[in-house]
Amino acid sequence: MKRKRLHTPRKAGLPPGTLIHVGEIKIAQPSITLIEYDDAGLEEHTFTSVELSRQYAPTRSRLWLNVYGLQDPAILGEIGRRFQLHPLVLEDILNTHQRSKIEEYDNYLYCVVRLFHAEAGGQGIQSDQISLVLGERFVLTFQERPSGAFHPVRERLRANHSPMRSHGVDYLAYALLDAVVDSYFGVVDHVGSAAEDLEDDALDRPTPALLRNINLVKQDTRTIRRAVWPLREVMANLLRGENAFFAQDTRLYLRDVYDHTIHLVESLDAVRDLLGDILDIYMSSISNRLNLEVRILTVLSMLFMPATLVAGIFGMNFRWMPLLDQANGFWISLGLMGTLAVAMGLAFWRRRLLRE
């Protein structure tokens, strides 16, 4: 199976902060959802256009604005104007090939993470970029398409007397990051199970298709690890307490997310080592099969060597030779050839040269 090549527009020559979508369009129509909440209650709103969002004024103290679909720069421009986001932040949100990172500004914190899920049919993985902006009273999330990763967080907010509503928006940001990290475990289990299946195939039936599948799983593992490794650094930076956007109580929860990232890195390293062992098993199996085939051909050649010797001797142009004047001389020579071949075959069989 061939991997898709990403074709992205070139931004060379354009000034920094130019709002151009870079990446695949994964949803037909962008949408904006707003959840505003406080200790007293929660309200939800969905906007299908920038004009509708301009006419709405929030009434509660904490906001969670989520955007599905990033191909419309006008939506990002309006959100950036209302929440005073830097143009470079908007540019990074639209460029969906970012690595996991965290950037601190005067009034907000900008974070990029990647979300993975298995493709249909279980062949390969897909990656989406999620951008998160944490301010004093708001959280902004930008997704390429609906993924369901944040659905448990929404359900917790919607629950009656939800304790999440009494926390600040920093706790909401933690919950969203925790949901993303938790989703990695399913993908890592997927590639781990694929690697274990390949190990069984390498022992039983090594084929060229198996080698191709090993390389595909190795590529998936490498891709996930490239996302998890910087994500671990992001969580470590949040734990150091160098920013004022997360309260001390929330950092205790972030420590748990950081531990999960370490677990993910260790699991991916184990999968990578397993794939290396599988590749060694595959190469050893192919080498053993080749050696067996060469050995069988060599033994077969040696079995015909006595017959060749006898035929060569009796094919010499001497006038007087044994058995030439006898009526059954031909059959005697054939019997001698067969006897020698059978004797050598039995000797090779006892030495296990004809068996694996």
Closest Cα partner for 169 from 58, 31, 53? Answer: 58
In a shared domain, residues 269 and 302:
no
301 vs 322: CA distance, rounded Å = 27
Burial call 203-227: b when 16+ CB within 10 Å, e when fewer: eeebeeebbebbebbbebbebbbeb
In this structure, is residue 54 part of a structural domain? yes
Within-domain flag for 206: yes
Q: 151 and 78 in one domain? A: yes
For the chain, the distance separating the N- and C-terminal CA atoms, rounded to the nearest angstrom, is 34
Confidence category of residue 355, pLDDT binned at 50, 70, 90: low
155: its two tokens: 């359900």
**Per-residue model confidence (pLDDT) at position 6:** 47
- Residues 206, 89, single domain; the answer is yes
- Residue 301 falls inside a structural domain: yes
337 and 307 assigned to the same domain: yes
Looking at the fold, whether 216 and 99 belong to one and the same domain comes out as: yes
Burial of 178 (0-12, 13-18, 19+ CB in 10 A): middle
176 and 313 inside one domain:
no
Considering 10-19, 113-122, 310-319, the range whose residues carry the highest mean pLDDT is 113-122
DSSP code, position 163? G
Q: Are 38 and 60 in contact (CB under 8 A)?
A: yes
Whether residue 76 is contained in a domain is answered as yes
| Percent of all residues in the chain with a pLDDT value above 90, rounded to a whole number | 40
Quick one: pLDDT band at residue 93, thresholds 50, 70, 90? very high
Domain presence at residue 276? yes
Compute the distance between CA of residue 48 and CA of residue 33 in angstroms, rounded to an integer.
9
Tell me the C-alpha distance between 288 and 4, whole Å.
Answer: 35
Domain membership flag for residue 19: no
User: Domain boundary residue among 250, 284, 318?
Assistant: 284
Return the closest-CA partner of residue 58 out of 77, 83, 75, 76: 83
Confidence of residue 343 (pLDDT cuts 50, 70, 90): confident
The more confident residue out of 70 and 308 is 70
The answer to whether residues 30 and 21 touch, using CB atoms and an 8 Å cutoff, is no
Q: Encoding tokens for residue 115? A: 């979300």
Q: Specify if 17 maps to a domain.
A: no
Domain boundary among the residues 233, 249, 284 is at: 284
Torsion-angle region of 291 (φ positive above 0: left; ψ -120 to 50: alpha; else: beta):
alpha
Q: Are 119 and 28 in contact (CB under 8 A)?
A: no
Task: Out of 254, 284, 314, pick the residue that ends a domain.
Answer: 284
Q: Name the pTM for this structure.
A: 0.78
pLDDT value at residue 19 = 84
Q: Residue 20 carries which DSSP code?
A: -
pLDDT average, residue stretch 201-224: 85
Q: Does residue 188 share a domain with residue 98?
A: yes
Q: Is 26 exposed, middle or buried (0-12, 13-18, 19+ CB in 10 A)?
A: middle
CATH (domain of 309): 1.20.58.340
- Asked, for residue 3, whether it belongs to a domain, the answer is no
Query: Which of the listed ranges 6-15, 46-55, 91-100, 282-291 does the model predict with the highest average pLDDT?
Result: 91-100
| Strands, sheet with 62-68, edge to edge from the N-terminal-most edge strand | 41-47, 31-38, 62-68, 138-143, 125-135, 108-118, 101-104
Rounded mean pLDDT of the chain? Answer: 84
Domain count, the chain: 2
Contact 17, 87 (CB under 8 A): yes
CATH number, position 143: 3.30.460.20
Q: Based on the domain organization, do 199 and 298 belong to the same domain?
A: no
Exposure letters 328-355 (e unless 16+ CB within 10 A, then b): eeeeebeeebeebbeebbeebeeeeebe
Least confident stretch, 114-118, 134-138, 150-154, 333-337? 333-337
Local confidence band at 312 (pLDDT 50, 70, 90 cut-offs): confident
Residues 233 and 190 in one domain: yes
The residue ranking higher by pLDDT, 155 or 12, is 155
In a shared domain, residues 172 and 299: no
Residues 239 and 337 placed together within one structural domain of the fold: no
Q: Which domain holds residue 146?
A: 31-284
The verdict on 326 and 200 lying in the same domain is no
